[in-house]
Structure 1
Amino acid sequence: MHAKSDSEVSVEQSWGARSPRRPLYYVQSPSNHDVEKMSYGSSPLASPHHYYHSSPIHHSRESSTSRFSVSLKNPKNLSTWKKLHQSHHSDDADDDDDQTALQDSGHNIRLYFCFLLLFVLLFTAFSFILWGASRSYDPKVFVKDIVFEDLNIQAGNDATGVPTDMLSLKSTVKILYRNPATFFGVHVTSTPLQLHYYQLNIASGQMKGFYQSRKSGRKIVVVVSGHQVPLYGGVSVLGDARQQKENLALPLNLTFVMRSRAYILGRLVRSKFYRTIRCPVTVHGNKLGKPLNLTHSCLYN
C-alpha cells in the first residue's frame, strides 16, 4: 500500500471534525501497462478494427464505398450499367423519332391531298375545255334522195279478218354523213326511218350503227319498206290507184333522228349530237324507180 499523502491527511481531519468517522475505501487506478492490455488485448472484441466496424455509420459508408470500388474493379458490372444507361437514352431517342415520324407522315398526307385536289381541278378544267371545243364540230347530215322501187295496192284482210285495202311499199333512202372534228371520232346511230301518211305509218327501216373517224364522211343507204299494211280506207287518194297506178300521187313524210356520240377523253368526256330530220316527199306512180332529190326539201333540227 502507498503512504498517505498530506492532502489526504488534511481531508480526513476536516471530515473528522464535522462528522463521525466512517470507513474509507481506496480505488486503485490501473497502471499504464494494464490499460494497454485492456485496450489491445488478444480478445477479438477488444480489437480496434472490431470497434471501428461496430459503428453503423462507418459500416454503411464503408459498404457503399466498397461496392463502388468493386463495380469499378469489375468490368462486367460496369458494362451492364453502361448498357442500361444507353438503353434509357435510346428509348428516349426512339420516342422522339416516333413523334417526328408522325409529324412527317401527317405533313405528307396533307401534301398528297393538296396535289390530288389540284389534279382534280386541273383535269376538270381541261375536260370542260375539251367539251366546249367539241361543240363547234357538229356532224353534218344530209338526206340526198329517195327512190321508190315498188308500190302495190290490193284488197285483203287484216290479222283479225277484217277486209280492207293492203299497201306494200319499198324504197331506198341515201344519206350523206360527215364528221368535221379534228381530234375525235363519233359513234353514230339512228331511230327507225319512217314514212307516214299523216298519222298512218306506211313503211319503216333501221339504219345500221357505225363509227366515223375524224375529218371523214360516208354515204349511208337505208331500205324503208312496208308489207301488207292495212289502210282501213284512211288513204282516199288510193281509190283509183288499183287501175291507174301512173296517176298516183301520194304525199308522205320521212322522219328520223340521227344520234352521234363523241368520246373525247374515254368515257369521262362525252359529247352528244342529236339531229331531228323531217323530209316531205310525194310518191308519183309514173316515177317509180327514179331518185327524188331531197337535198333542199328536208328540215334539220
Structure 2
Amino acid sequence: MAAFRATAPVLDSWGNHLARHLGQGGRLLVAGNGGSATTAQHLAAELVGRMRGERMPLSAIALSADTAAVTAISNDYGFEEVFARQVRAHGRADDVLLVMSTSGRSPNLVSAVDAAKQIGMRTWAMTGAEPNPIAGACDEALCCPSPHHQIVQELHLIALHLVCERLDRTLPQVLEAGPQDHERREPGDHTAVATRPLLVVVGDTLLDRDIVGSVHRVTPDAPALVLDEKATTSRPGGAGLAARLAAGRGFDVALITAIADDSSGALLNELLTSAGIEVYPLPLPGGTPEKIRMCGNGQVL
C-alpha cells in the first residue's frame, strides 16, 4: 500500500486526460484477460453509463466483451491477435488504449500495444510488479508491486475508481471550455486541467471520542475519579484526521482505509463523507478501532 500512494499523480493525470479526450469525442479501448477482463468491462460500464453523478455518456469499449468477435478472431488468427485486431478496427490516432495484466506478460496484450502504437494511440498499462514487457512497451504504466494476483486486481479496481472520480470532476470544465485541439503529450507529462488538486490518503483510520464532564468525587472502593458525563464528541483519527485536514485546505481528498461494519464504522464513514471526502472502505474484520479520552475540569484524565 505504501508504494500505491506514489501513483496519485499518474491517476490524476489519466483522469484529466480522459475527461479532455472522451469529453471531446475521443475513445478509450481497454483490455485484459481473466479477472482483468472483468475489470476492463467494469471501467467501460462506468464511462458509458455513470459512476456517481449524472453526466454525458463517454465512448469506452472493453475488447473482451464481444464474445463473437473474441472467438472468431481467436479461431481465425490465433489468440495472440484477439485484441490487436480489434485495436486496428476501433482505434484512431490519439485515442487511448489501457491494458491490464497482473503478470505484465500476456502476449495478446503486448500485441495490442504494438498495434495501438502503429495507429498513433496513447498506451497505458496497469500491471503487477515491474519490470515486465507490457509496462516497458507502454507510454505510461501503473505497476503494483505485490506477488499476489488478487491484491493487484483489487488495487487496479481502486485505481480505476480514482481515475473516474478525477474524470467526473474535470469533465464539466472541459465541456464549458468547448472544443479544443487535441495535443499529444510526452509520456510522464502530468499537466492537468486547472482544478482543485486531488490528494489520495491511504492508511489506518480510527474513531476518536472525547467524553467531557466534571469530577467531584472518587469511587468508594478505589482511588479512582468519577466522571459525570456532560457531552461526547467524535471525530476521525489517524489517516482520517489527515484526510479531513487536507479537505479543509482545499484538496479534493480520496481516502482508502479499512472500516468495520458496525455502528462506530458507520459514524466514522458519515464524519468523513460530510467533510467532502470520497471514502473507499476496505472491509475490516471485528470492530472499528476507537480511542477514548475522558476529560474533566479542563484536563484529560
* TM-score over 0.5 (shorter chain): no
Give the structure-2-normalised TM-score. 0.17
Tell me the TM-score normalised to structure 1 length. 0.17
Larger Rg, first or second structure (1 or 2): 1
Q: By percentage of residues, which structure has more strand?
A: 1
